Structure 1
Amino acid sequence: MGDVQHASGSRDTKASIHRAALDLFSAQGYEKTSLREIAEQVGITKASLYYHYSSKQDLLRAIIGTFVDDLRQVMARTDGLDWSPEAERELLGAYLDVLIKHRATGPTLMRDIGAVLAAIDEDLEGLIATSRGFQLWLAGPNPTVPDRLRAAAAIEALSAALSANLSPGEFIDSEIHATLLDAAAALLGRRNA
């Protein structure tokens, strides 16, 4: 039982570190935020922070990595899946759910793109290829260039969940989901118009 509590406490501490880091990165930028400030916001010592993360870059990599892993899981669902309007809407919804779940990461992604790219450098080409494959699947069977452009635009519409900078309580998750999913579907729906 002690091991379970210790593991749970470690996860809780890591989650608190992630939240504090994202708050500080969003407010003052990645470069201007120190590990000491993050530790203070969490209420732990800098040494305790180093127990979990060896550097600020390691911390950013963990935060971004969780987000990227969740996106990849959704995009991988297209492997071997035949396109249909129902499958398209389901996967768009799942992709959007990931963006909503990680929307606190959005301001950091937008503000410090150089640090983010450095954090995912070894995965960047694979992530781009996976994303392009997902967009191609969304474009439907035998897509034309306009179909592919609409699929890319639909993904960009969903990314508004990250860049809209909505205050907590300003808009509930289900409203964000419905609004952006309808916008993305409308962009894709013009394919046959």
Structure 2
Amino acid sequence: MTVSTPARERTRREILRQAMDLFQLNGYNATSLQDIASAAGCSKATVLYHFSGKPAVLAAVLEPAAADVARLVAAAAAMGRSEAQEFAIAGFIDLAVEYRGVTDVIQDVIPVIEEMPEVAGLVTDGMTMIGLMAASDDPLEHDLAKFAVNGLLGECRRPGERSADELRRLCTIALGRLLRRA
């Protein structure tokens, strides 16, 4: 027996798919709800039926990546500092490669992301991830981890330039050199 997806769910998925494409192509700030609606083949009212506004659309677009980051952070929390660092670095690399397109979107909203309660969990988990990768209470180590993460996320913004394997290798070498102690 074939199970069909209800029209509302198909519309919601199409809104999210088009929003992701537009956020990547034009940037979050340059994309309007009307742009999303037009691309999805529906009205702006339909978009607002499914989402309370553009930040809610963004949160839904980011939700799969946010859920994976939350799972990674929760798993690392049960480990010792050194083991958690290795786990967080490996997990970050996997997520950075898997969610290359999301990286584009996140980089575009970083200046205002803390003003968006819809993505507060992702921000909190991202900061926790940096702490895990730093594996130290030293503020300089945290700054180094932020520097490394931001640099590698910036590199992930250009998905056509490197294959997934090349990007994974670059991230592994760079984070290994910057964050792991000899």
The TM-score by the shorter chain falls in which range?
0.7 to 0.9
Distance change in 2, residues 1:34/1:121 (3 Å): closer
Residue 106 of structure 1 corresponds to which residue in structure 2?
A: 103
2:90 counterpart of 1:93: yes
* Contact 1:83 1:137 (8 Å CA) reproduced: yes
Task: Give the letter for the 1:162 counterpart.
Answer: L
Query: Could you tell me how far apart the structure 1 residues matched to 2:127 and 2:95 are?
Result: 17
Query: Could you tell me how far apart the structure 2 residues matched to 1:186 and 1:39 are?
Result: 45
CA RMSD of aligned residues (A): 3.4
Distance change in 2, residues 1:47/1:131 (3 Å): closer
Query: Could you tell me how far apart the structure 2 residues matched to 1:111 and 1:72 are?
Result: 21
Deviation at 1:182, TM superposition (A): 1.4
Distance change in 2, residues 1:29/1:131 (3 Å): closer
The sequence identity of aligned pairs, in percent, is 24
Deviation at 1:47, TM superposition (A): 4.5
Residue 67 of structure 2 corresponds to which residue in structure 1?
A: 69
Unaligned runs of 5+ residues in structure 2 are: none
Distance change in 2, residues 1:99/1:15 (3 Å): farther
2:46 counterpart of 1:54: no
Task: Give the letter for the 1:72 counterpart.
Answer: A
* Contact 2:134 2:144 (8 Å CA) reproduced: no
Deviation at 1:82, TM superposition (A): 2.1
* Contact 1:60 1:116 (8 Å CA) reproduced: no
Aligned counterparts, 1:100-179, within 5 A: 100-120=97-117, 123=120, 127-128=123-124, 130-140=125-135, 143=136, 145=138, 149-150=140-141, 152-154=143-145, 156-164=147-155, 165-168=157-160, 170-179=161-170
Deviation at 1:30, TM superposition (A): 3.1
Distance change in 2, residues 1:119/1:101 (3 Å): farther
* Contact 2:114 2:123 (8 Å CA) reproduced: no
Task: Give the letter for the 1:89 counterpart.
Answer: E
| Length-normalised TM-score, structure 2 | 0.73
* Contact 1:61 1:120 (8 Å CA) reproduced: no
Q: String of CA shifts for 1:133-181, please: whole Å, max 9, x gaps.
A: 44444444xx473xx634552454244443233143x321122111112
Q: How many residues align structurally?
A: 181
Task: Give the letter for the 2:154 counterpart.
Answer: S
Distance change in 2, residues 1:53/1:151 (3 Å): same
* Contact 1:93 1:177 (8 Å CA) reproduced: no
Distance change in 2, residues 1:70/1:159 (3 Å): farther
Distance change in 2, residues 1:41/1:150 (3 Å): same
Query: Could you tell me how far apart the structure 2 residues matched to 1:150 and 1:173 are?
Result: 28
Query: Could you tell me how far apart the structure 1 residues matched to 2:37 and 2:101 are?
Result: 19
Q: String of CA shifts for 1:80-139, please: whole Å, max 9, x gaps.
A: 212446x53343121222222222122332333355333336736x944x5554444444
